[in-house]
Structure 1
Amino acid sequence: MSHRNSRALLAVSLALGGLAAAGAVQAHGTMVKPMSRVYACYQGNPENPTNPACAAAKAAGGAQAFYDWAGVNQADAAGNHQAVVPDGKLCSGNNPTYTGLDLRRSDWQTTPIRPDAQGRYTFEFKGAAPHATREWKFYVTRETWKPGSELRWSDLEAFCTLGNTALSADGTYKLNCPLPKRTGPHIIYNTWQRSDSNEAFYSCMDVKFEGGSTTPPTWLDAGALIARGALPVDTSVELRVFNGSGGDAERVSTTLPSGQTAPTQWPLYVARKVNSSAVNARIGVMNNGVITPVASATANRVYLKQGFTHQVDIRTPGEDFDHLYPAGIGSYVPGQTVVKGSDGKLYACRPFPEGAWCNINAAAYVPGVGYAWRDAWLPY
C-alpha cells in the first residue's frame, strides 16, 4: 500500500465516534414551505385579505407589513432571541411593523405538514439579500399548546439546529430537519441569526400535522465523540454508516475551514453537516428525544438507528498514515496499515501472520513503546 502520494486517512472507527456545519450565505426572507404567517397573508391579497386573521392583522398594523414579508427582524439580537423578543411578540419578532401577526386567533391559514419516510421534512426559506449565517433554529409548540392562545417561549420545544446551507437554484434555502411527534394544529417557529452582524430574523409558521402521531426513529447511543485536539485547515471528515451486513448505507463528508478546527468547534461543524443530511445517524446531545450539537470536545455523542454501525474517516492534508494510533484498532490490515505513534513516528503493520498482533490493544504492542512492539510493527 503506497502512502507517499496520498493524503492521510485516519479511519477513526468509533464505537466512540463522532462528529454539524456553520457559516455560508443566507438572506433576508421568510419561510415559504410551510408558509410563514406573514407570507401567507402576502399571498392572500394584502389589500383585501381573504383570510379573516390576516384581515384583522391588517386592521391592527396595516398592509405594508405583508409587502415587507422579508423583514421580520431584530437588529441587535446577537443570538439572544428571548431577550429581544418577549412572550406574546414572537410572530412579529417584537418588531412594531408586524404587530398584527401576534393576534391571538385560531383561524390563521395553516399548511398541512407530514414527514417523509425517514421522519424528516425539508423547510424552504425564500431569500432576498445575502448575509453570512450563524445559526438556524427550529421550535415547535408543545402538544398541550392550544391554538389561539398567546405564544410564549415556554410553549416551544427546540427540535432542529443547523448552520450553513447552500442557496438552491430556485432562490430558497433547503433546511432538512427531523419532525417531532405532534398531532393537529401547531406553530413551528424559526430563528435565523446572521454571523456578519447582530441582526436576526424570525418566521412563525401555522401548520397542521397530518396522519396522526409521527413516531420519530429510535436513536441508539453509539458512544461519545472525543476531539483530542485541533485538526488542520482543509481536513476532510467523513461519517460512514454501515448496514447489518457491513455494506455502506450512507456517507456524509465535510471539509474543515479556517475557524472551525479547534477541538470544541470541529465536532459542532461536522455534526451540523451530518444532522442536516444523514438518514441513519445523528450527532449531538439528546434531550427529550431531540439531538442537538454543541460546541464541546467531549459532550457530543453519535446516535444510530437500530442495526447500523459507523466509522469516522479523517483525511488530513500532507500526512502519510492511515490511523493515529490507537484509533481504528481492530480494523488494521496486516502488511498495509500505517499508523502514527505517540512518539510522532510512523509504523507499518507487519505482514500476516505476525501482523495479527497489530490489532491487539495491549501495552506490550504499542508501536515504538511496548516491549514487544517489534512483534507487530515495522518502522515505516
Structure 2
Amino acid sequence: MKYNKTLSAMAVGMTLAGANQALAHGYMDFPKARQAICQEQGGFWWPKDGSKIPNAACRAAFLKSGHVQFIQKHEFAVNTAEFNDQSAVEANIPDGTLCHAGDKNKAGMGLPSKDWQKTPVTVDGKGQIKIRYRATTPHNPSFWQFYLTRPGVDFENKALSWADLELVQSHGNIDFFMAPDGKRYYEMTVAIPDKFSGDAVLYSRWQRDDVVGEGFYNCSDITLIRDAEPQPPQSWHSAGYYLRQGQQANIGDTVWLRAFDGNGKELIQEKLTISEQRVADWPAYFATQLNEVFAALIRIGVQDEHGNIHFDATNLASNQVFVSDQTHTFNLSVVAKPVNTPPTVHTPAVLTVQEGQSAHLHVHAFDDQQSRLDFDWQLPAQVSYTGNGATITVTAPQVDKDTQFSGKVTVSDGQLSTSVNLVIAVTNQNDTPAPPDSDAWQADKVYTGGDIVSFNGSQYRAKWWVRGQRPDISHAWERIAPPSEPKDQWQASVAYAGGAIVRYQGERYQARWWTRGQQPGKHSVWKKL
C-alpha cells in the first residue's frame, strides 16, 4: 500500500477528536481536592442513606448526587474548544457549578458547607505555597491556573461563582515526575498575596493545550497559615542517621526524603536530581535545602552539648535527622537513574468521517523519561492530511460505499518507539437507504428501541423505551435523515462535541464546545464557517 509522507514534531499526549472522554486525568493531591478527601474517607457504599460517611459535607454531597463523584475523583473535567476564551470556559462551567466542573453527576461537590475538611497550608517566607497534582494519566503540553476565594466571600453558605475568585498564579507547561511509589505528579508553587489568610477555597485548573480542549477543575478547602518565621520546637528528637552506610548517588539518580507524622500522614516529600555539579556534595546541599524550607519540622546535622544542630560536611556519617515530634519518622532513598522505556501510546477509537469532509486526529502519548516525542504518521495515499506533531487534519476521499482505511502512527522518544494502528471510516453520502414506512407518532403509545414513527413530516427512530415524549425534542428519539438530505444536517436532538461541523439552512457551522439543542446562527456555541 502506498503511503503519504512522514511528519514528526515535539509533543506529548494522545486522544482522538470525536472519541469518548479524553484520556488524561488527575486531581489535586496537596492540598487535597474535596472529592479525593471524600473518596479516601469512604463509607459511601453502604448503607444507602450514607450514614457511615464520616464527614457531614461528604455525606450531603452523596445524598445530592451519589457515589460517582467519589470514584471518579480524577475526572472532574469538561471539554472547551476555545479554552483560551474565558467566556467560553465560564459558559461551560456556569456559576454555582465550579467545584464539579458543570457535571450534574458530581453536583454534590458544589454544595456550600462549613464542614468541608480543610487542609492547613503554611505560606513560606517568599509568600508561596507548594502544590502537588496527581496525574493518573499525564498530559503535556498543558497550562495551569490557580484561584483563591476573595476575602469576605461566604463560600460556606453560597456555591462558588467566578466573581468570587481571584486568579493568583498561572503556569505554562510543567513536566511531570514519577515518585518512588510509581505514581506520577506535577509540582509547582502558587503565590499567595498578603491579603489572603485563614480559611479559603483554592480553585485549580489544569488545561490541556490541544484540539480536544479538556480541562480539569478542582476545589481544595484550605486554611492559610502565615508565620512571620517558622518556630522550631523547644527540643529536637533524633529519628536516625541521615545516610545509611554505603548510601551513594550517581549522576541521574534522584534522592528522595519523606517525613511522616505518628499516623503515617506525609509531612515532607522532597527530591533532588543528581547533576554533574552536585554528585560530590549532594548530601550537604540537600540537607541545607531541607533545613531552610522545613525549619519547624526537621533539622539535619550533629547536635552539640547546647542543643544546636549543625551539618558536618567532613564526617557525613555522623549527621542525624532530628524531628520536631518524637513520633515523626523519615525515609531517605536513592532511586537509580531510570532505564529508558518506550512511550506509552493509547490506541485510538475509529475515526468516522463523511466523504469529502475533514476531522481532527489528535494523538496523545507520554514518556516517563523523555519530554520530547516525535510522531511519524503513515496514512493511505487516498486519505490526505495536513498539520504535524500530535494533531493532524484528515480529509476523507470520495467513496462509492462506506469504506475503512487503515494506517498507523509511530511515537519515538529518540531511542525507543511505540506504534499503534489507526482506522479511518469514511461514509458514503449517497447510499442511505430510504427509511421504512412508519406510523404517525402517538403520545399515549409505548415505543421500544428501533421503532420508527413519523412526526411533522420527518421520521424518527426510538433509541430505547419511551412514551409521551415528542420525537423532535426528546433525546429518546433520533431523526432519520432522508436520502436527499446531507448526513451532517444539524439536528436539535443530537449532542455535538466541540469541533463538530454541521449544515443548517445552507450554511456550515462548527461547534466551539459541547452542545445540544442550540440552533446554529442563534447561539455563540456555533461558529459560522
The structure in which a higher percent of residues are helix is 1
Higher relative contact order structure (alpha carbons within 8 Å, sequence separation ≥ 6): 1
TM range (shorter): 0.3 to 0.5
TM-score, length-scaled by structure 1: 0.48
Larger radius of gyration: 2
